[in-house]
Amino acid sequence: MSDDHSADSPALPTGVDRRSFDGRMRLSTRGGPVYGEPVDSDGWRAWDAGRSKLGAMLELGMDTGLVGGETVLYLGAASGTTVSHVADFAGATYAVEFAPRPVRDLVGVAEARDNLFPLLKDARDPDSYAHVVESGVDCLIMDVATRGQADVAVSNRQFLADDGRLLMAVKARSEDVTADPDEVFADVLSALESAYEIIETERLDRFHADHLGIVARPK
């Protein structure tokens, strides 16, 4: 796996850096460790792009628009691997996860991050957390492995500021395990167009097989 990065790649958000771990320059944020990731003597912890779709998008140089300090709604937070890194550099971070077992881990992650707010809710039912999540968040990050991923992104558009960003990782096999991933991705992009303007897409196969990274802004 190459560690080469184009000189004209978008700048990383403030609070995200490339640090040396085991002789390799890797994405990192500063915060308490969460999933056994290496931490250097200055408190920077490696961000494993092989375990994080957003990390993969940043490693591949996608223009996420993240600058640091954003308010974030994160859908599909699981036990906190990626959202912990997000909370290290973002502002208020609302983390939605529907499975009780991972949420217990997520609550533990949030104990060391006072800007991280775990929500045991279903991302397919945004009305169930509309009373908690502030409107006009800067960024909607989505990694939800379910059929109808585009529908989830569209229904959660209500929380996103008009100048905000959608950062979405589409898992083809969650939509249709038998379909060609390119056809799945085309259908998802078409469904998103009712609410979003697509800015950039890139396959994440270098880190995550049959996944598509999407950057979009609300219409």
Q: Which residue has the tokens 């009780």?
A: 100
Would you say 90 is a known binding-site residue? no
List C-alpha distances in Å: 147 to 46, 54, 90, 131, 133: 31, 20, 29, 25, 24
93 vs 45: CA distance, rounded Å: 19
CA 157-198-131 angle, to 5 degrees, is 10
Q: What stretch of H or E contains 120? A: strand 116-120
Would you say 56 is a known binding-site residue? no
Find out whether 139 and 114 touch, Cβ atoms under 8 Å: no
Would you say 123 is a known binding-site residue? yes
Would you say 97 is a known binding-site residue? yes
70 vs 68: CA distance, rounded Å: 6
Would you say 14 is a known binding-site residue? no
Would you say 122 is a known binding-site residue? yes
Would you say 81 is a known binding-site residue? yes
Would you say 145 is a known binding-site residue? yes
134 vs 130: CA distance, rounded Å: 8
| Residue list, annotated binding site for S-adenosyl-L-methionine | 81-82, 97-98, 122-123, 143-146
Residues annotated within the binding site are 81-82, 97-98, 122-123, 143-146
